[in-house]
Amino acid sequence: MTIIKTVCHRDCPDTCFIDVEVKDNKIISMKGSTANPVTQGFLCPRGRGDPARVYSKDRVLYPHIRSRDNDGVKFKRVSWKEAISFISSKLQEAIQIHGEESVLLLDYAGNQGFLAMQYPHRLWNALGATKTDYALCSASGHKGIGLHYGLAYGVQPEELLDMEIIIYWGNNAKVSSPHMWTLSHKARKDRGTTIISVDPRNSETSQVADMWVSPRPGSDVALTYGIARYLIENDLVDTDFIERSSVGFQQYKEEVLTWTPERLEDVTGVSWDDIAKLGSIYANSKPGTFMIGLGLQKSLHGAEAARAVSLLPSLLGYNRGFHYSDSRGIDIDFAYLGGNRLTNKNCKTIHHVSVGSELVSGKFKFVFVYGCNPASTLPNQKSVRSGFSKKEVFTVVHDTHWTETAYLADVILPASTYLEKEDINFSNHHLYTRISRKVIEPSGESKDEVSLMHSLAKELGLKEEWLFEDPWKALNKTLAATFQDGTLADLKGGKVLKLKLKPMNEYQTPSSKIEFYSSEAEELGFSPLPEQLPTEIEEGWFVLLNSSIPKYTHSQFIDVYGPIPQIVWINPVDAKRLDIKNNDEITLFNDLGEVTINATVTNNTIPGVLWTPRPLTGVKGQPLNVLTDGSPQVIGSGPRFNSTKVKVKRAD
């Protein structure tokens, strides 16, 4: 038996160190490693479920090509050679007839490894393929916070242990970042830290917090102005810091003072007493931090909410007294690794959230999908699926498992899992890193992304030398300025290294200060101050929130844990009005589609607001995302999942 040290590559902020017991090329067990003080030696149900996912019956083990006979669609097993030659002839045909922009690369963070995710972009950059703006997840929050701070990095997880107050805001960390949550919990046990959750619904995190504040969805900007009002009116703000480190406080203050208690209560649904209490606890418990969730910024005006929360700590004199994501505070030359700055092609970009309507428009003839499952996770699902089903759209999927998207593809290629290849993967929440060793040999004929990309480049007859650069040499250049205490060679040798994060008191804004009144926003035509946009919703409509639950990473682990629960939370007041009882089948619908699902009548959500686990499939087989809109947000082009409006009826 050997123990192999690796790192979890899931799309998860925690990025756990994992020790895997292996015997005869078989995984015997996976345990969290204590070598990482943030991930602390325990794994979540997904980490624990990964061996079952590696050996799952749903693994793609061989290349397949779609074929049609009298019984309908079938997938025929073919050799790699045949698959590569078929793909490259289709790729060449699309480029010759329709131009290079008719090729779409659709990839995401199913495996966050640098070699699995970034390096293969080189091929598509060399070809001049269209790409997305990768704004499906965190981009709007980055942009919103960036308007005031430059980049959105901040508080480190170890610092949670010293906090007097931790405010999770639109952040269900108990589920979405269990190690961050555990550190908060430890602080509470050891030093009495107060934990607050600001979330319209009583999430797993709200349920165990010391205080749950429940604003109406999308009313967070107003709530921050309420807290600011309390702090300003009670002379609790750090005027020296504000003078020294920021610009635009006067304009901010003027806006804040327009938010009277009555107006605040009216917009947020939170009482002035509770707003004042929140302000008072925050000001009197130092140090403190806001943990800004990604759920907060995945809505119509999500970027506004994220930027508004990020400004509160500056009032008390904190340099970046919030945590959002550190990914942009670390110096990594992705443009080199992925070839964006090596190619002479000018690749076009489309909105990630609008892929559905883009596919339907017919402008893409060849789509290459890897590390994501768009036929489940993208909004405007009806268009996504009908786009992929169009005869003239040739789709290749490289995935570890048979997904909804794989079943719509023309060619399916087997991918090795992160446990079957060597790579590196950094967290965007903590700075500890080590090499991700290959644990077992790839299952079946599965291949990693680098070798697949090289085979395709060769078959296409591409000659650019940078396409064939040794990936570890490329990584060496990419990471030249990345580590605090070593080099890539040390990492490869087995050392744990720390990443270098930009200084907390450095602000990458035009004034090099915190900009309460953002000059960049003004220049871009956005409101220079965070703006509370209308939240009213017409009679008869609900807001549908949706977020992840512990056993699933997006659409993954259904093969291990069964279907994502087909439930929707509805408040008893709404249920009574609509004559809905617990476990009744109800249909959520809007102009885009409908999903039938079982009602859970509960006070865990407020009247007018529903919640479902994401991305479930309803009892009649409809995916949740048929209900969600594929238009981008104004700031940062992110998704609007948490502003989905639906009506409810009893199922037929």
Ligand X SMILES: Nc1nc2c(c(=O)[nH]1)N[C@H]1C(S)=C(S)[C@@H](COP(=O)(O)OP(=O)(O)OC[C@H]3O[C@@H](n4cnc5c(=O)[nH]c(N)nc54)[C@H](O)[C@@H]3O)O[C@H]1N2
Give how far Cα 20 sits from Cα of 26, 362, 439, 446, Å. Answer: 10, 46, 7, 20
Minimum gap (Å) between residue 571 Cβ and ligand X: 14
Cβ contact 11:138 at 8 Å? no
Task: Give 18's Cβ-side CA count (13 Å radius).
Answer: 29
Which entry of ligand SF4, Mo ion, ligand X, none binds 642, CB below 5 to 8 A by partner kind? ligand X
User: Per DSSP, what are the bridge partners of residue 6?
Assistant: 18
Tokens, residue 202: 């009583």
Map the footprint of ligand X across residues 4-33, applying CB under 6 A. 11-13
- The verdict on 604 binding ligand X (CB under 6 A) reads no
Q: Is 269 left (phi over 0), alpha (psi -120 to 50) or beta?
A: left
Query: Among 220, 274, 326, 629, which residue sits at the site for ligand X (rule: CB under 6 A)?
Result: 220
- The verdict on 33 binding ligand SF4 (CB under 6 A) reads no
Q: Which is nearer to ligand SF4, 102 or 176 (CB)?
A: 176
Cβ contact 298:377 at 8 Å? no
Name the one range near ligand X by CB under 6 A: 181-189, 364-372, 430-438, 562-570: 364-372
Q: What distance in Å separates the CA atoms of residue 622 and residue 624, rounded to the nearest whole number?
A: 7
Q: What is the DSSP letter of 489?
A: H
Name the one range near ligand SF4 by CB under 6 A: 5-13, 288-296, 455-463, 640-648: 5-13
- The verdict on 434 binding ligand SF4 (CB under 6 A) reads no
Query: Among 6, 27, 33, 47, which residue sits at the site for ligand SF4 (rule: CB under 6 A)?
Result: 47
Which entry of Mo ion, ligand SF4, ligand X, none binds 343, CB below 5 to 8 A by partner kind? none
Cβ contact 535:216 at 8 Å? yes
- The verdict on 185 binding ligand SF4 (CB under 6 A) reads no
Q: What angle do CA 443, 448, 449 make, to 5 degrees?
A: 150
Minimum gap (Å) between residue 371 Cβ and ligand SF4: 15
Q: What distance in Å separates the CA atoms of residue 426 and residue 16, rounded to the nearest whole number?
A: 10
- The verdict on 294 binding ligand X (CB under 6 A) reads yes
- The verdict on 264 binding ligand SF4 (CB under 6 A) reads no
Name the one range near ligand SF4 by CB under 6 A: 7-15, 158-166, 464-472, 600-608: 7-15
- The verdict on 429 binding ligand SF4 (CB under 6 A) reads no
- The verdict on 15 binding ligand SF4 (CB under 6 A) reads yes
- Closest residue to ligand SF4 in the complex (CB): 47
Cβ contact 549:564 at 8 Å? yes
Q: Which is nearer to ligand SF4, 143 or 174 (CB)?
A: 174
Residues that bind Mo ion (CB under 5 A): 137
- The verdict on 46 binding ligand SF4 (CB under 6 A) reads yes
Minimum gap (Å) between residue 250 Cβ and ligand X: 28
Q: What angle do CA 472, 476, 477 make, to 5 degrees?
A: 125
Give the dihedral of Cα atoms 341, 344, 345, 351; nearest 10 deg: 20
Query: Among 27, 38, 44, 292, which residue sits at the site for ligand SF4 (rule: CB under 6 A)?
Result: 44
Q: Which is nearer to ligand SF4, 30 or 151 (CB)?
A: 30
Give how far Cα 624 sits from Cα of 377, 378, 408, 587, 613, Å. Answer: 9, 10, 18, 11, 9
Give the number of residues written for the chain: 652
Concatenate the DSSP letters of all residues of 510-553 into one string.
TTSSEESS-HHHHHHTS-SS---------TT-EEEEEE--TT-B
Query: Among 129, 227, 415, 564, which residue sits at the site for ligand X (rule: CB under 6 A)?
Result: 415
In the complex, which residues of this chain contact ligand X (CB under 6 A)? 11-13, 108-111, 116, 136-137, 169-173, 175-176, 198-201, 203, 215, 217-218, 220, 293-296, 298-299, 370-374, 376-377, 398-401, 403, 415, 417-418, 449, 545-548, 550, 552-556, 614-615, 624-625, 628, 641-642
Binding site for ligand SF4 (CB under 6 A): 8, 10, 12, 14-16, 43-44, 46-47, 178
